[in-house]
Chain A
Amino acid sequence: MAEKAILYDATRCTACRGCQVACKQWNENDEIIPDVENGVQAVNRGSYENPPDLSPQTWLKIEFREVERSGKVAWLFNRRACMHCTDASCVKVCPTGALYHHELGFVAYNKDLCSGCGYCADFCPFNVPRSDRNLWTGVAKMDKCTFCTTPGLDRIAQGWEPACVKTCPTDALIYGDRDELVAVGRERVSALKAKGYSNAYLYGDTELGGLHVMYVLDDSPEVYGLPVAPQVPAAAIAWKDVIQPIGWGVGGLAILGLGINYLIAREAKLTRELPGKKEE
Chain B
Amino acid sequence: MEQEVERYRKPTRILHWVNSGAFIILFFTGLILFIPPLGFLAQDSVTRILHRICAVIIVVGPLIYLLTNWKASWKGLKEAFVWGKDDLEWLKAAPRYYFLCDEEAMPPQDHMNTGQKLWWFMVIVLGVVIVVSGVIMWAFKSTAPAALLQWSVFAHDVAFIAIGAMFFVHVYLSVIHPLMRPLRTGAWSSMARGKVSAEYAKAHHGKWYDRVSKGMKESPSAD
Residues of chain A touching chain B, judged by Cβ–Cβ distance below 8 Å, are: 93, 95-98, 112-119, 122-123, 127, 133, 135, 137-141, 233, 235-236, 238-239, 243-244, 246-248, 250-251, 254-255, 258, 261-262, 264-266, 268-269, 272, 279-280
Q: Are B101 and A268 in contact (CB under 8 A)?
A: yes
Q: Are A113 and B43 in contact (CB under 8 A)?
A: yes
A-side contacts of B34, CB under 8 Å: 95, 244, 247-248
Q: Are B52 and A137 in contact (CB under 8 A)?
A: yes
A-side contacts of B153, CB under 8 Å: 93, 119, 122, 235, 239
Main secondary structure of the interface of A (DSSP, over half): helix
Q: Are B168 and A254 in contact (CB under 8 A)?
A: yes
Cβ contacts B98-123/A at 8 Å (1 or 0 each) = 11111100000000000000000000
Q: Are B172 and A117 in contact (CB under 8 A)?
A: no
User: 5 A-B Cβ contacts within 8 A?
Assistant: A95-B33, A96-B33, A239-B157, A262-B177, A268-B178
Q: Are A265 and B100 in contact (CB under 8 A)?
A: yes
Residues of chain B touching chain A, judged by Cβ–Cβ distance below 8 Å, are: 32-34, 36-37, 39-40, 42-45, 47-49, 52, 98-103, 138-139, 141-142, 146-147, 149-151, 153-154, 157-158, 160-162, 164-165, 168-169, 172, 176-179, 185-186, 203
B-side contacts of A114, CB under 8 Å: 43
Question: A90 to chain B: closest CB distance in Å?
Answer: 12
Question: B141 to chain A: closest CB distance in Å?
Answer: 6
Which B-chain residue is minimally distant from A140 (CB atoms)? B45
- CA–CA, A255 and B160, complex, Å: 16
A-side contacts of B43, CB under 8 Å: 96, 112-115
Q: Are A97 and B161 in contact (CB under 8 A)?
A: no
Question: A116 to chain B: closest CB distance in Å?
Answer: 4
Besides the contacts A138-B49, A235-B150, what 10 more A-B pairs have beta carbons closer than 8 Å?
A96-B36, A115-B43, A122-B150, A127-B146, A133-B142, A137-B49, A239-B153, A243-B161, A247-B157, A250-B162
A-side contacts of B147, CB under 8 Å: 233, 235
Which A-chain residue is minimally distant from B165 (CB atoms)? A254
Q: Are A96 and B154 in contact (CB under 8 A)?
A: no
Known contacts A96-B39, A137-B52, A261-B177; decide if A255 and B99 are in contact (CB<8 Å). no
